[in-house]
Structure 1
């Protein structure tokens, strides 16, 4: 089940069925879930979740028009619209799944056109638990720019896990035989994917979600460790700290 919020966008597109493509076993599972009686419902985006529910934030990074939004569409609603222009406002997708038999709420954040200004607002990175970096296999410059995006990410979130997607391999299959210095140097898992035909899209997002969950449960950054302790205190102690009190602690 998923929900989405488009800020300053003109419409919310309805999900459509994928057509005329070979599906992996994992993609068949996604189709089955997608056709359940309530999974077509568009949910109201609500930043709050039920008490005790694990919530993670996964952000997408990369140059404009590399296919970040298309990959999200393929994973969440099994659709692909090749003629759609680049998104131009912040897009949030809320997705519910299970990881190791535990219910997990995933908030996917899409840059939505802001990347054309070569920098993103700090709030985009705030409290992210994992990052999916994307480049276009048909445009070398988008690969070269990964270093700049990675540097900006690490200035705000130095420790969160990152995965990288080489998108549009349907248009350049030779890319799958190449090694990439950027991912090897930074020890980042690389996935050869296609938003157009669905290749490896499910695996990319499932692995990113799992990495986000593992990081939230075992953060390596001290600020994330502090926030985790505060969340535990909220769940187990009375009275709990207010949002303003948490902010005061973090600024001390």
Structure 2
């Protein structure tokens, strides 16, 4: 994946398909990459397509345990646990954003403020000092 996918993210939902083992195996790669760009954001692991075989909900998935990540069993097809998953993810993201200690968030905020300052200085029809009148001599 590209780093831009993580830009300004405040939470991550990592989904694998319970019917396709390769998607589960890819979680480690995705997680390592995520942590390179966003080391502190909350992350949720999702086992999707439980409607195909409900017995999969009895399985233990070590990836989530290894990293102490919450695991949700969902079915996008029939909606099982989808609303709960997104409600919880939103709650985690808002909490993270309000209480972030991640230096990357501070840097991103400074860049955003800098961009806003630059835009204010270059408003068309307005003098650079923002007063609309010539600068004092």
Say whether the fold is shared (TM-score over 0.5).
yes
Q: Which has the higher contact order (CA 8 A, sep 6+)?
A: 2
Match of 1:206 among 73, 87, 90: 87
- Structure 1 residue ranges, 4+ long, deviating more than 3 angstroms after superposition: 225-228
When the two structures are superposed, what TM-score results if normalisation uses the length of structure 1?
0.44
Given candidates 92, 101, 120, the residue that maps to 1:220 is 101
Distance across 2 between alignment mates of 1:154 and 1:132: 13
Q: Higher helix share goes to which structure? A: 2
Separation of aligned partners in 1, 2:9 and 2:51: 30
Instruction: Show structure 1 runs of 5+ residues with no match.
Output: 1-119, 235-240, 247-252
Residue 199 of structure 1 aligns to a residue whose secondary structure is coil
Deviation at 1:174, TM superposition (A): 1.1
Report the equivalent of 1:194: 75
- 1:168, CA displacement in angstroms? 0.3
What value does the CA root-mean-square deviation take over the aligned residues? 2.1
Which structure: larger Rg? 2
Kindly indicate whether the alpha-carbon contact (under 8 Å) linking 2:11 and 2:89 is maintained by their aligned counterparts in 1: yes
What TM-score results when the alignment is normalised by the length of structure 2? 0.78
More strand per residue: 1 or 2? 1
Which residue of the partner structure matches residue 41 of structure 2?
160
C-alpha separation in 2, matches of 1:226 and 1:152: 19
Residue among 115, 118, 132 paired with 1:243: 115
Question: Within the alignment, does 1:134 sit opposite 2:6 as a pair?
Answer: no
Deviation at 1:245?
6.5
Equivalents in 2 of 1:124, 1:148: separation in Å?
Answer: 15
Aligned length in residues: 118
Deviations 1:160-200 (A, max 9, x none): 00001100000021110011110001111000000111000
- How far the C-alpha of 1:225 sits from its partner, in A, is 3.6
Listed as ranges, the gaps of 5+ residues in structure 2 are 119-137
**Given that residues 38 and 104 in structure 2 are in contact (C-alpha distance below 8 angstroms), is that contact kept between their aligned partners in structure 1?**
no
Structure 1 residue 146 corresponds to structure 2 residue 18: no
